[in-house]
Amino acid sequence: MKFLYLYITFMSLIIFSCTLEKKDFDNPVDFEANDERGIGAPTIVFYPLTQTRTLQDSVEIGSYIVFKEDSIKAFSGVHLQIHFPNDLLDLDTILPGLLMTDTNQSTPLFNYLYDEENSIVDIYAYFLDTVKQSLEATGHIANIKFKSNSTGSDSIHYNISECEVINFDDNLIQLNGQRSAEIIIE
């Protein structure tokens, strides 16, 4: 009987002492999670949503375009205007993402302009392929790497009024939202 009492006590301690952590998953191409935040597709998002770095660390942000699976539109080009806090970050490198790479695995037509005074980056990416004219997918447009220059927190965001997605015939595809990214430098 004493053994049963100890067993019940021990099992009660195990069961009632456990706490479940709420996991906050961050998937940049999850249109359902974006819908829950009030960001309708097609949308442009940064990944990760939040990151904390030290002053010596670099900060890397991915830029993504997200369509709903039942309303994907064919597109061939993207212009993204990105604003970042230059009192917190210095632009280091911008590289093309995986989505716009053609079937021959070559680099797409990819260029950017940097307005250092206003801390604005304009990214231009165009899908060029010998087999097809456009993409019908959700995915990674660019990687942007920064060097931290001071401590603090701020956001990197798209200037949605200047961002454009176009199809092969140069017609605009309306963007319905954007998701910024928070950067914390300690």
Q: How far is CA 27 from the centre of its chain?
A: 8
Q: What percentage of the chain has pLDDT greater than the value 90?
A: 49
Q: What is the pLDDT of residues 160-172, one digit of tens each?
A: 999 999 998 889 9
pLDDT at residue number 41: 81
Strands (E), 14-158: 43-47, 50-53, 58-66, 77-83, 89-96, 109-115, 120-126, 139-148, 152-158
What Å distances lie between residue 95 and 40, 59, 144, CA to CA?
26, 14, 7
Chain mean pLDDT for the chain: 84
pLDDT at residue number 1: 63
pTM value? 0.80
Tell me what the mean pLDDT of segment 85-93 comes to: 94
- Residue 133: strand pairing partners: none
Tokens for 43? 């949308």
How far apart CA 180 and CA 186 sit, in angstroms, is 20
Please state, as a whole number, how many other Cβ atoms lie within 10 Å of the Cβ of residue 127. 20
Q: Which residue has better confidence, 104 or 29?
A: 29
Q: What is the pLDDT of residues 141-184, one digit of tens each?
A: 999 999 999 999 999 999 999 999 999 888 999 998 888 999 99
List strands edge to edge, sheet with 89-96.
89-96, 139-148, 58-66, 43-47, 177-179
Q: Is the pLDDT of residue 78 over 60?
A: yes
Q: What percentage of the chain has pLDDT greater than the value 70?
A: 80
Tell me what the mean pLDDT of segment 110-136 comes to: 88
Q: What is the pLDDT of residues 3-51, one digit of tens each?
A: 666 667 666 656 666 555 555 556 666 667 767 777 778 889 999 989 9
Give the closest residue to 174 by CA, choosing from 29, 89, 55, 65. Answer: 65
Tokens for 166? 């176009």
